[in-house]
Structure formats: C-alpha cells, structure tokens
C-alpha cells in the first residue's frame, strides 16, 4: 500500500543529511490544518538547535530541497516553524488506482497482529429486560470488537450474565405470591418482560410494607431490614445457595424465560457473543483466590473474621474481599473470573470490560488487587468506561418500572423510520418485505449511529426523533448517501475498471481521495482509543464531502469519458469506504432508498 508519510519521512531524512549532516533527527508529520494549503505538515522546531537555523529559514531550505528532489511533492509553504507540503496530482491518482477496487480497505488481515483480546459487554441482570443503558453498552462493546478485528486482532466477545442474587429472588418471590402460574405464553409477553413485571411488583409490595412498619413507629432503616418480603427474599437466596430443589427449579424456569427474551433483543440489535458466562457458575471462583492471597499476605483477616486488603498506599481505600460469614462480594467473583479466563484462553493478552462509569472505582480496585496477587497480565486489563444515557424527558428510574425499555425503544425507532421515510416519498418501487427491511435498516442505523457518534466517556442525551434525519449528522444521512451512490453506479453500464489516466483533479475530488487515504489511520486510532466515535464522525465528514461533489459536478452527464469514468470509480470507492466504516459501527447500508 502506498504510504505518503513514509515517502515524506524518507525524503526529509535525506534532506537533513545532505543539507545539514543531521542523521539522528526525530521526524514527525501531522495533517495540515484546514486553514492552510497543504496535505502534510512538518514541524521544523525540532531541528533548529542542531542546524543553527531559524525555523522559517529551515522550512524554506527543506521545502526547496524536497520540491527539487521528490516528484511527488508539488508545492510547499512555510508558516512560522511549520513546513506545509502538498503532494502532486499524480501521487494521489497513483494511490487511488491502487485502492479503487479494494473491498477490505481499512481492514488489516485477520489475526495479523497475533494478539488475542477478550471483550466483555452487555452483562445484564436476569430480573428485568434490557433498557436504554444496556443498548449503549451492547452497541459500544460490539462496535469496539469490530474495530479491534479490523486492526488485525483476534477478539473473543463475552457476556457475563448476572443470573443470581437477591434481585432474581425478588422476582421469583413476587411471581410465587402474585403470579398465579402466569407464563410468557399465557401472558403474551416476552420472558424478560414477564420477569421484570414481577420485579416491579415486588418493589411495590415491599414499599407498602415499609410504610406500614413506619406507621407503627419503626424507623425507616429498620423497616427496610425487617419487612416480611425482604426477609423472605433473603431466605430464598439462602435456599438457592444450599441447592433447595424447588427453589432451583423455579430459578431455572424464570431465567430460561429471560434468556429467550434477551436472545430476541440481541438479534434485533444485531449483536452477538462468542462465549457466555453465568454468575451462578463463577461466583464461587474467587474464594480460593482470597485464601491464596491471605497465605501470601496480600490480604489480612480483620477482628470480625472478614478478609480485606489495604489499598490506601495506592490512593484507594480498604476493601473487603470476603465477608465475616464467608460470603463473597462482587470483586471476589471478578477476581476469580478474570483468572479463570486467562487460564481458559492461554494466548489471551488483554481483557476489556465494557461497563458504565459508575463502576470506575470498582475496576481500579479489581485491577490493583490482581496486580498485587502477582498476575503480570493485570496491567493489560482495561475498563471501557462510558457515560449514562438520558432522554429529553429525564433520567431513567429502574425499580419503579419507568426504565426506557430496549424493545419498546427499538419499536419506536422502527415506527419513526417508517413514518419519516414515507413522508419523504422514498418508498416507491419497494415490495412490503423490502420496505420492512428498509425501515429496519434505517431505524437501527439511526439508533446505533446517534449513540456511537458520541465519545464513550461522555454522558449523552438520546433523542429518537432527532436521530432519524436524512439531512443531519445521523446514520440515515450516511445510509441515504450510500444508496444514492449505488443508484448512480446502477445507471452507469459503461464504467471502465482499468486504471485512471493522468487527469487533473479538482479540489473536492482530491479531498475525497485524501479522506479515503485517512480511513486506515482513523481505524487504527479508533482501535487504540476504543472509540467508535472516531469512525462515526469520519464517515459523516466523508459523506458531506461526497454530497458536495455530487451537487457541484456532473458524473453520468460528464462528456469527457476519462473524467466520467474516474468520477464513477471515485463514487464506487466512496461507497465502499462508507459501507466499511458503518459496518465497524454494526450498521448496514441499503443498496437503494
């Protein structure tokens, strides 16, 4: 592949040696800022001390040398200590001819890095359906996995399901008391929605009991502890942990309902996993680790019998890893699960957890404990932290049943996509099945793009209506542009696939080629920072650039056949890059709209 930076690096290196006998300089390039002429910029300040030249003089001398010794350089300009270099028309055409027919542009060869990365995302509780927060988690995790694969890594996508604990017992107990044998089939509900319904029912009945206790003069704190429903739920959890046959049978039944419901939502979202883990199978793994750590003096036993670690020297607090009654806490389980994963996958080099930023402290503690236990791979564990999602109406509230349900949101997006598409008159010539597929693609494209275009670390406001705008900074705008290009290509029966001859590029054509050239580096950077937002915003900028080109220049009606063929090839390559970029976000682009 033609590499402009490498070509320029070698030329500057030669210039420094021949002009100043300087062979050990650090040479770095950056993209030229939009307000200046040029493609790449060399910072000359790094060479002023050794050359004893002022930055401007140094830039001019280097520019003149490069202009006369490298035919790929067409022009230069010096702005203070910055040397802006413009590459020739011929260089960009040569590059374009080399990539114009590639379908995998932006992708490294699969497994070429030799690095295996495990990426955990989703990690739902089995007491309720997936909600808007889970949507961001799933879309972020899946997209980062796609981006890491594009960077040549082997990726293992995992999901650790929180399928045990007091939360699921609350749903189970409420179903026993109020359910009258209701099933997903008899209720006409997805299984996860049915179980979630009883989680809400538990909370309503529990709050009522608390109010009754308070009315009798009992303190709120004591009322919460002694409410009969809570005591029964805690007893049910103890029975589950001791293997009570009836409790375990009910637990399996209700969890199966939830898994079936989750599977439908995952399929609709277009996300999947290579490996499923269940907390019911992993929650005991960390206990043995704690005993080993106690033996190595990493942990210490407190007077009340609990086991802890003091992380104050590391800027953290003391952390209990085993309660006085011998039960584990979340970090205990996570310690055992992490160690088990590296045993299960011997070639694993990195473990990434996609979890909201409210768990930032938890992961700092987890990684520090693993490090103190002597696991060298602990430094390769990473928390992909992301901000919460809010709607214009306000924050979501979990227990009251006012969570923004993922399935309802997906249906609302579909309905909005249908209405918007019909309003714009983009439904002619489609069968009912084709329209259904189109509405699905547009709705998912709108949802995924709107969420992923925001930097993961930032809190975000999701507006369903704003996300479906065929002319805004949205997924449908990019999808529509891709379909527009495909329409042009279908009409061009005489497109020639041979190399483009030495035509003169206009400014926008050159900018499109430069943008396509940048795609590979954007994918690399997105992989380094685990940020789909870089891909999302890149595709938007390329889309805007292509639309300018489309409106300002003729393609099919261009009279010069060489120019016409080039513009068709440029359109085809642009569509391919848009398709590849959107695929890294988990978004499909339609062939027609």
Q: In the numeric block, which tokens belong to residue 112?
A: 């070429």
Class of domain 406-584: mainly alpha
d(CA 393, CA 389): 12
Type and span of the H or E element at 226: helix 220-226
**pLDDT by 10-residue block (mean), the chain, 593 residues:** 91 95 88 94 91 93 96 95 95 95 91 94 95 95 98 97 94 97 97 96 96 94 95 95 96 98 97 96 91 95 96 97 89 95 95 97 98 96 93 52 80 92 84 94 96 94 84 94 96 81 92 97 97 98 98 95 94 98 98 90
CA atoms in the 13 A half-sphere facing the CB of 104: 9
- pLDDT at residue 497, rounded to an integer: 78
- pLDDT at residue 398, rounded to an integer: 40
SS3 state of residue 375: coil
d(CA 471, CA 480): 9
Residue 569: closest CA among 2, 91, 102: 102
- pLDDT at residue 393, rounded to an integer: 66
Tell me the pairing of strands 116-120 and 348-356: parallel
d(CA 66, CA 362): 54
- pLDDT at residue 429, rounded to an integer: 84
The DSSP symbol for 405 reads B
Q: What are the boundaries of each domain within the chain?
A: 4-87, 165-262, 406-584
d(CA 306, CA 308): 7
- What sign results for the dihedral spanned by CA atoms 339, 345, 346, 348? negative
- Residues 216/222, Cβ–Cβ less than 8 Å: no
- pLDDT at residue 263, rounded to an integer: 97
As its CATH architecture, domain 4-87 has: 2-Layer Sandwich (3.30)
- Residues 451/462, Cβ–Cβ less than 8 Å: yes
d(CA 592, CA 482): 8
- pLDDT at residue 397, rounded to an integer: 43
């Amino acid at each position: 592949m033609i590499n402009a930076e490498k070509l320029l690096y070698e030329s500057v290196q030669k210039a420094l040696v021949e002009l100043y006998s300087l062979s050990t300089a650090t040479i770095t390039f950056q993209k030229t800022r939009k307000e200046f002429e040029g493609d790449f910029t060399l910072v000359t300040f790094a060479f002023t001390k050794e050359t004893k030249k002022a930055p401007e003089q140094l830039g001019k001398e280097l520019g003149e040398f490069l202009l006369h010794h490298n035919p790929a350089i067409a022009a230069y300009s010096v702005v203070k200590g910055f040397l802006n270099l413009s590459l020739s028309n011929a260089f960009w055409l040569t590059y374009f001819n080399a990539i114009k027919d590639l379908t995998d542009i932006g992708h490294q060869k699969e497994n070429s890095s030799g690095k295996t990365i495990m990426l955990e995302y989703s990690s739902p509780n089995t007491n309720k359906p997936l909600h808007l927060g889970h949507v961001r988690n799933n879309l972020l995790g899946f997209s980062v996995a796609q981006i890491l694969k594009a960077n040549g890594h082997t990726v293992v996508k995992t999901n650790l399901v929180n399928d045990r604990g007091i939360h699921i017992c609350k749903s189970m107990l409420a179903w026993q008391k109020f359910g009258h044998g209701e099933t997903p089939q008899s209720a006409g509900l997805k299984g996860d929605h049915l179980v979630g319904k009883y989680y809400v029912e538990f909370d309503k009945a529990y709050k009522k009991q608390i109010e009754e206790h308070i009315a009798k003069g009992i303190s709120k704190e004591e009322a919460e502890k002694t409410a009969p429903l809570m005591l029964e739920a805690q007893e049910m959890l103890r029975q589950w942990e001791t293997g009570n046959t009836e409790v375990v049978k009910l637990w399996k039944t209700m969890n199966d309902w939830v898994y079936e419901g989750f599977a439908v939502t995952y399929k609709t979202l277009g996300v999947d996993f290579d490996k499923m883990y269940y907390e019911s199978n992993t929650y005991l793994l960390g206990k043995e680790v704690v005993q080993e750590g106690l033996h190595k003096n990493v942990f210490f036993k407190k007077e009340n019998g609990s086991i802890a670690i003091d992380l104050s020297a590391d800027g953290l607090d003391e952390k209990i890893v085993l309660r006085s009654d011998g039960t584990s806490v979340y970090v205990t389980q996570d310690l055992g699960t992490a160690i088990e994963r590296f045993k299960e996958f011997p070639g694993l080099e990195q473990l990434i957890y996609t979890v909201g930023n409210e768990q930032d402290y938890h992961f700092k503690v987890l990684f520090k404990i693993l490090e103190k236990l002597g696991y060298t791979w602990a430094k390769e564990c990473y928390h992909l932290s992301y901000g919460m999602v809010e709607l214009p109406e306000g924050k979501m509230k979990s227990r009251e049943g006012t969570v923004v349900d993922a399935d309802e949101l997906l249906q609302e997006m579909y309905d909005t996509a249908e209405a918007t598409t019909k309003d714009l008159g983009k439904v002619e010539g489609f069968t009912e099945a084709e329209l259904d597929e189109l509405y699905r693609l547009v709705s998912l494209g709108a949802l995924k793009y709107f969420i992923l275009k925001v930097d993961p670390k930032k809190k975000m406001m999701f507006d369903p209506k704003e996300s479906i705008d065929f002319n805004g900074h949205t997924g449908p705008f990019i999808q529509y542009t891709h379909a527009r290009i495909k329409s042009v290509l279908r009409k061009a029966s005489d497109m020639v696939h041979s190399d483009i001859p030495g035509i003169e590029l206009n400014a926008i054509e050159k900018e499109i080629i430069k943008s396509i050239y940048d795609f590979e580096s954007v994918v690399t950077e997105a992989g380094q920072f685990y940020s789909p937002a870089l891909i999302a915003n890149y595709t938007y900028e390329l889309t805007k650039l292509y639309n300018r080109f489309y409106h300002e220049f003729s393609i099919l009606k261009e009279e010069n056949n060489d120019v016409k063929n080039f513009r068709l090839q440029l359109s085809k390559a642009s569509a391919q890059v848009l398709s590849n970029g959107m695929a890294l976000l988990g978004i499909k682009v339609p062939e027609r709209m």
